[in-house]
Each structure stands twice: as C-alpha cells, then as structure tokens.
Amino acid sequence: MLEASILLIGDELLAGEVQDQNGFFFAEELAKEGFRTREIRVLPDDVESILEAVRALLSRSALLVMCGGLGPTSDDLTTEAVAKALGRQLRLDEAQWERIRSLFRTFRGEDPPPGNEKQALIPEGAEVLNNSLGTAPGYVTEEGSCVVAVFPGPPRENRPMLRSELLPWLERRFSARDRRETRVFRVFGLAESEVGHRLRHVEKDYPGVRVGYQFHFPEILVKLRGSSDEKDLLDSASQALTAALGSSMYARGEERLPAVLGRRLAEAGLKIVTAESCTGGLAGKLLTDTPGSSAWMEAGFVAYSNEAKERLLGVPGDLIRAHGAVSEPVALAMLSGALERCSAHVGLSITGIAGPEGGTAEKPVGTVCIAWGMRGRLSAHTYRFAWDREYNRLASAWAAMHRLYGELAEG
C-alpha cells in the first residue's frame, strides 16, 4: 500500500479550542483509495514548524496532505512554509484572484480588502484545486517522489475538494492500487457495547474483513471494510451483520434517519406535521435539512409554553392540569391538534424535560413523551433519556422519527 501523511495546521487545534475534523476524515477517504496513513501531525501556525514537518514527511510519504492556514489573515502561513520547504517561488494565480474579487463584488458589493490576494498565491509548478464553497483554493504538486496536496481547513470546503479535485488527480497519477471498500450500516436504539457484542464474531468468521464502529450521536455507524476484489466475502459478512443487528439497523449508506424518513414519506405521497415542545423546532429543522423536503414537510408547531399548547394546538387546559405538560395524553392531544390544523397526513409530537432544570422525582430530567402516527391511528411512548440537554433533545427528535419510520415500514 502507498503511504500517506497528514499535516493539520492551526493554533486553535492545539489550544483545545477547536476539535479537528479533518484527520479522521482524510485518513478514512485515503484508506478507501489505497493509501495507508503513517502519521498525522497537528502543528501551530508557525512557518518553522511547518517547514520542518514538511521536510521530514516528504521523504517518507507517497502523498502528503495538508489542511489549514490558507486564510487571508496574518496567522495563515501554510503556503509561505510550503513554498520554502519546496524551494519554490509564489505566483499570483490570476484566475483565482479574479474569482475571489468577483465573489466579493457579488456578495458584498465591494472589492476585497488588502491582504486577500494572499489567498490566490500558489507555489510555482503547483496546480490549483478548485474550492467552490470558499475563497481559498487548494493546490497539488509533486516534489521528488511525493505528491503534496494542500487544502483549506474548513471541512465543508475541503471535503468536496478532496472528492472532486484531488481524487481524480490521484487516479491519473497512481494507476494500480489495492482499493478498499467500506460498507456503512446505520444503527439507532442500541448501546455501543451491545452492537459490539452482537458483532463480536464477524471478523473471525470472515477473515480479511474489518469491523469499525463510529458513534455519531444519536446513532452508531458500523463499517465493514475489505478489499474491493473480494466482493463475495463482503456480501457474506454484510448478511451476517444485518441478521445480528435486526431492526435496529434502520438503513445502509450515507443517508441519516431524517432523510430516510423523508424519502419514505415522499414515496408514499404523505406529508408530515410536527408538534414540538422541548425540542423547540429541532424535529422540523432535521426534517427540512434535506433538499427537496417540500415533498414531505407540510407544517410545524412549536408550542413551548402551556398557553401556546392550548392556543396553537387546542390542547385542553384541563388535560395539562390533570396529567402535566409532559405526559402521553398531552403528546397525543398536541399531535391530533396539529393534524387538524393543516393538511398533513402523518405527524409526530414531542413534549419533555430536556434539562438541566425542571425535573421532578416523578418526572426527572430526560423524561420525554412522544406521539406519532396518522390521523385516527396515533401511538405514544414515554422515554427516559440520560444525557445533557443537547443530546436529550436530539435523542427525542430521532426517537419520534424512528417510531414513525417503523410504523410506515410495517405498512
């Protein structure tokens, strides 16, 4: 396998202010392409440190990927260090500079401030990697037997750049590689240790296949990896894994639950309404994250106060007084009120105590009542989550979507 190194640059990554999102992602993508990452280094925005690391890693890598430090401010020094390490001059890429100026004129109505042309400086001999979501382009060049590829730090900029710019370039440069295939299985509602326990025999039973786990709250991603040349082996391991996980495995591939539910709704010609209390709009936000969500999203209500539950959704005040705002009867009344007030066919409702305050002995923080279903056929369930406010809210929204998804699957 060809060996790669990754260099991540930014004071903020070393100050414990920002958690790096690039090392793991690039290592994983490069592994798929047949590159084994030998080392990842995180360095400060400091020319000497970068220079030294580039020199050290050049000689031992077929590919050196660098991320970060391409911004317009004085602490962005990556390109200066790369040019020094490679003994190259910098040239102003006129096309990139024109692109940056035109971006500024379009969106700000003015020319960029002095300093911004720095982002259009590229070492001599390097080819531009286009950045369609930000001002800083990346670049790639060869030095000795090493390919050096430099990306801006923001993941939302460099991830598409890796896929659409660098990978095709590597494809041309390195012909024969042992490609790895990764299959992703998405699991919701099981503890990580339970998932590991259920899958403990897979690696032994299917030698050559590796099982990886990634906890991407509130779901767990199980990843099967193997050589692209052994598809039968991967197929058999996939079947064993699917059988072991049962209905907790709600989908395969890249699409997360909100998008999977949305697609199922669209296929069935159904529109959804949300009625939220403690999640404050989060379920609606998740359901509309996906492009084209107008095919399934009709409307939503955020009934945060008790008065809003009565006025927006017609929940009887007596019901709230009798059972409390966090109760299955109120969740059911919120949902039927929402379904009556718009033309949606199905819906979900959430009322709970997200925390950290507001819990009682009977209803501690994390108690969440959820209702879901279609007109005339509603169900409810009470959960006890035990995370912090953010995770309790996310788990609530996902649990409601997962319930509705399960019901639609049953038919």
Least Cβ distance, residue 276 to its own copies (angstroms):
7
Rounded to whole angstroms, how far apart are CA atoms 192 and 180?
A: 25
Q: Which of residues 228-267 bind its own copies (CB under 8 A)?
A: none
CB nearer to its own copies: give 18 or 409: 18
Q: Does 105 bind its own copies (CB under 8 A)?
A: no
- What are the two backbone dihedrals, phi and then psi, of residue 248, each rounded to the nearest 5 degrees? -65, -25
Which one of residues 291, 362, 377, 410 is an interface residue with its own copies (CB under 8 A)?
Answer: 291
Least Cβ distance, residue 409 to its own copies (angstroms):
24
Instruction: Pick the piece of the chain touching its own copies (CB under 8 A) from 122-130, 296-304, 328-336, 402-410.
Output: 296-304
From residue 46, how far is each of 87, 167, 168, 221 by CA, in Å?
17, 28, 31, 37
Least Cβ distance, residue 405 to its own copies (angstroms):
18
Q: Does 196 bind its own copies (CB under 8 A)?
A: yes
Rounded to whole angstroms, how far apart are CA atoms 51 and 44?
A: 11
Least Cβ distance, residue 171 to its own copies (angstroms):
19
Rounded to whole angstroms, how far apart are CA atoms 283 and 86?
A: 50
Instruction: Pick the piece of the chain touching its own copies (CB under 8 A) from 87-95, 171-179, 249-257, 303-311.
Output: 303-311
The kind and range of the H/E element at 382 are: strand 377-384
What is the 8-class DSSP label of residue 201?
T
Least Cβ distance, residue 147 to its own copies (angstroms):
18
Helices (H), 87-164: 94-108, 155-161
Rounded to whole angstroms, how far apart are CA atoms 9 and 69?
A: 6
Rounded to whole angstroms, how far apart are CA atoms 217 and 385?
A: 13
CB nearer to its own copies: give 213 or 268: 213
Q: Which of residues 141-170 bind its own copies (CB under 8 A)?
A: 154, 156
CB nearer to its own copies: give 148 or 394: 394
Instruction: Pick the piece of the chain touching its own copies (CB under 8 A) from 85-93, 240-248, 341-349, 370-378.
Output: 341-349
Per the structure block, which two tokens stand in for 373? 């279903």
Q: Does 208 bind its own copies (CB under 8 A)?
A: no
Rounded to whole angstroms, how far apart are CA atoms 247 and 271?
A: 24
Q: Does 41 bind its own copies (CB under 8 A)?
A: yes
CB nearer to its own copies: give 219 or 298: 298
CB nearer to its own copies: give 88 or 382: 382
Rounded to whole angstroms, how far apart are CA atoms 367 and 359?
A: 8
Instruction: Pick the piece of the chain touching its own copies (CB under 8 A) from 90-98, 164-172, 193-201, 230-238.
Output: 193-201
CB nearer to its own copies: give 61 or 141: 61
Instruction: Pick the piece of the chain touching its own copies (CB under 8 A) from 80-88, 234-242, 288-296, 403-411.
Output: 288-296
Residues 6 or more apart whose Cβ sits within 8 Å of residue 175: none
- Count of residues that interact with its own copies, criterion CB under 8 A: 111
What is the 8-class DSSP label of residue 304?
-
Strands (E), 44-106: 63-67, 90-92
Rounded to whole angstroms, how far apart are CA atoms 215 and 346?
A: 30
Q: Are 100 and 113 in contact (CB under 8 A)?
A: no
Three-class DSSP category at 256:
coil
Q: Which of residues 106-145 bind its own copies (CB under 8 A)?
A: 106-108, 112-116, 133, 135
Peptide bond into 123 cis (omega under 30): no
Which one of residues 292, 322, 360, 375 is an interface residue with its own copies (CB under 8 A)?
Answer: 292
From residue 254, how far is each of 83, 186, 221 by CA, in Å?
38, 9, 10
Which one of residues 42, 58, 167, 266 is an interface residue with its own copies (CB under 8 A)?
Answer: 42
CB nearer to its own copies: give 141 or 334: 334
Instruction: Pick the piece of the chain touching its own copies (CB under 8 A) from 81-89, 120-128, 231-239, 379-387.
Output: 379-387
Which one of residues 144, 191, 232, 362 is an interface residue with its own copies (CB under 8 A)?
Answer: 191
